[in-house]
Chains A and B, each alone.
Chain A
Amino acid sequence: MKKKLVVTALLALSSLCFSANALAQGKEIRVMLANHPYGELLKNAIPEFEKSTGVKVNFESLQESQLVQKLTTEFSTKSSSVDVFMTRPLQDGKLFQKNGWYDTLSSYDFSDYPKSVMGVAEVDGKPFLVPLVTEWEVLYYRKDLFEKAGIKVPTNFTEFEEAAKKLNSDEVAGIASRGKGAASVTQLSSYVYSYGGRYLEQGKAAFDTPQAVDAIRYYGKLLGNYGPKGVTSMSWENIIPVFQAGKVAMWTDASVFYGQLVDPTKTQIPAENVGIANFPAGPHSSTPCLPVAWGLAIAQQSKNKELATQFLNWATSKELAKRGMLASITMSRNSAWQDPEVIAKVHPGLVETRAFAAKNGYPTDRPYMSAVGEARDLIGEIVIESINTKGQSPNLDKMAKERAAKVDELLKEAGEYGK
């Protein structure tokens, strides 16, 4: 009798699952958005799409690490009903692509996208995501403090260090940049590139080269000597309030934060005192990172590919890209930057630094590999050691060699070594 009861209960439960499946057969799709300004913009615009197409869009909006966690769980257990989702090409792209979670977008028109961004959007000529937002590294600085100190905005690393030293005081940190281990890797990238180094070269770890180690040493020297207190636990979310409180003279980070720094409701510093400049040139070259931060993709297992494509085309359209630009989101589409209405409204500093980065930049800001999370932690360990010792640690070379060997190991495990 006991068995019978259990069986009945299980049957009852399973019938519930079936009916839920049956419901999803209507003209509707499920979309996963990130808590990012563009995700917000889409969220608000979705009713327009629903009205013009009659397709019901069920969307969820999640913080980025939760979004990835949820997508990973759903896709890897093959239980997902997601049709379209926002994705981070550099952080999750390789992993998702390798596991076959992206659908191939063979019919999409990519002619409006710069060549440099397509590198992370396709594999063997087959595109699997549409780039949405591009970022690049810039130097934010306090015009008033520079004026007071009587110095000019630095254009190379020597001037940069001198400026940091001169502007640094008990009250104000000369320079801020991310120091929190793994989080620092993306900002450190511009330093490494400008020293002539790379994180990976031809599918092998390359951050143990003298150039890359010199860059890490320089980064540690800057932040260790002239950085804010506790910089090894700071990512952008910790630096912003300190900058807004007027306690930082210069800050190198992604262009995306400019809007927040000049928003009068959030900052104590008048907007006219906040400057934005090109990332200074290193000993080797002037190479800021220029990564695609977000893209939009169709899930491989989607049962509504036609509707999903319709949604994707709409959500990545020129029209919405223009709306994104007007909301201070730096879109990947070329045409979005040529629209006269946009040019009239967007801050000239953003237009100039983008043009500079588009010309000189490098399209990734982290090791582009499946096991990027672990690789970032490993590089982060060297960064923290360098900052803690103000770049003086004699172990940096040895640490970099060891960590590079571990990253090679990860590449081998993932079958990406040497590719």
Chain B
Amino acid sequence: MFHSSFLDRHLKILFPLPALIFIALLMIFPVLYTFGLSFTNWNLTSGMPLSFAGLRNYTRVLAEPRFLDALGRTFYFTIFAVLFEVVLGVAIALILNRAFFGKNLAKLLLLLPLVATPVAVGIVFNLFYDPTIGLVNFVLKSFGLPQGHWISHADSVLPSLIIVDVWQWTPMITLIVLAGLAGLSEEPVEAARVDGASEWQILWHVTIPMVMPVILTATILRLIDALKTYDIIYAMTGGGPGYASETLNIMGFKYSFEYFRMGQSSVILVALFLIVFLCSLGIMKLRASSEV
């Protein structure tokens, strides 16, 4: 009797408890720990014990040109990748939302990039992009077009990586927006049609505003992921040539597992965490205001 009443009284704590413990152990603790490490001089190459370093890591890392470059690249990569993904993703979703022959096949094909492993995608695209034996330059050459250096030149490496990211993640936006479109009621569209609106007007003034909250949700998800992109970049260029494709995440990895400067690496990761956090907050605000 006691048991059931105890359970009854505490259901609202008991049920989410496993999830809370999970989040506390695997998400909150590592973030706080990293934050703590960012104030220490932990450096494995020195063989010295860990000690408090105050803000020294922050002043050193934040002033480093390499950090500022990586910060810029992180935004460059994210903004362009997400922009193309959202525009293309929404456009494809609008096309797929109409009935046409072979629609299911098209949907299935679209899903394929999404289920591929990023590292495998990276390796395959590396071969495509190879300037000497790669498929991309071979095709360009056979059409008599100029050939590119792709990921092997500092000027073209980020756009080339963005193309891969767009190839892989546009379908995710499409899928989410497609689900949003399927949930819309037909009435406002029909009403607009009765009032004599053109297809373009219906699209711009009825359909898109109605799916806007869904588009923004998809954008948040993609944005957070794109800011943290690691696998594709690491597998394809490792941040190179030189440091030309080094984003904050890659730099953080190098600082910890190649330079063994754990304290300074933590500073980079704390910075990345704050950026992701603030960007998500911003877009969530935007989404709340678009929901009317």
Contact = CB atoms under 8 A, between A and B. Distances in A.
B242 A373 contact: no
Interface in A121-177: 173
Given A233-B241, A381-B242, A242 B132 contact: yes
**How big is the B interface, by class?**
20 to 34
B206 interface: no
Contact of A1 (B10, B21, B47, B240): B10
A180 B257 CA distance: 19
Given A9-B21, A242-B133, A414 B241 contact: no
A371 B259 contact: yes
B286 interface: no
Contacts of B219: none
A330 interface: no
Interface residues of A, number: 40
Given A230-B131, A231-B152, A414-B47, 17 more contacts: A95-B260, A98-B45, A99-B44, A181-B240, A228-B132, A229-B132, A230-B150, A232-B240, A233-B237, A238-B130, A370-B46, A370-B47, A371-B260, A374-B259, A377-B254, A413-B46, A414-B45
Contacts of B1: none
Interface string A341-371: 0000000000000000000000000000011
Interface string A69-88: 10010001000000000000
Contacts of A238: 126, 130
Interface of B: 10, 13-14, 17, 21, 43-47, 126-127, 130-133, 149-153, 157, 237-238, 240-242, 254, 257-260
A374 B149 CA distance: 27
Interface string A217-238: 0000000000011111110001
Given A72-B257, A373-B259, A374-B259, A5 B131 contact: no
B53 to A, nearest CB: 13
B133 A65 contact: no
A242 B126 CA distance: 12
Given A5-B17, A373-B260, A232 B47 contact: no
Interface of A: 1-2, 5, 9, 13, 65, 68-69, 72, 76, 95, 98-99, 173, 180-181, 228-234, 238, 241-242, 245, 247, 370-371, 373-374, 377, 380-381, 384, 410, 413-415
Nearest to B153: A230
Given A173-B132, A181-B240, A413 B45 contact: yes
28 contacts: A5-B13, A5-B14, A9-B17, A13-B21, A72-B257, A95-B45, A98-B45, A98-B47, A173-B132, A181-B241, A181-B242, A228-B132, A229-B152, A230-B131, A230-B149, A230-B152, A231-B152, A233-B237, A233-B240, A241-B127, A370-B44, A371-B259, A373-B259, A374-B259, A377-B254, A410-B45, A413-B45, A413-B46
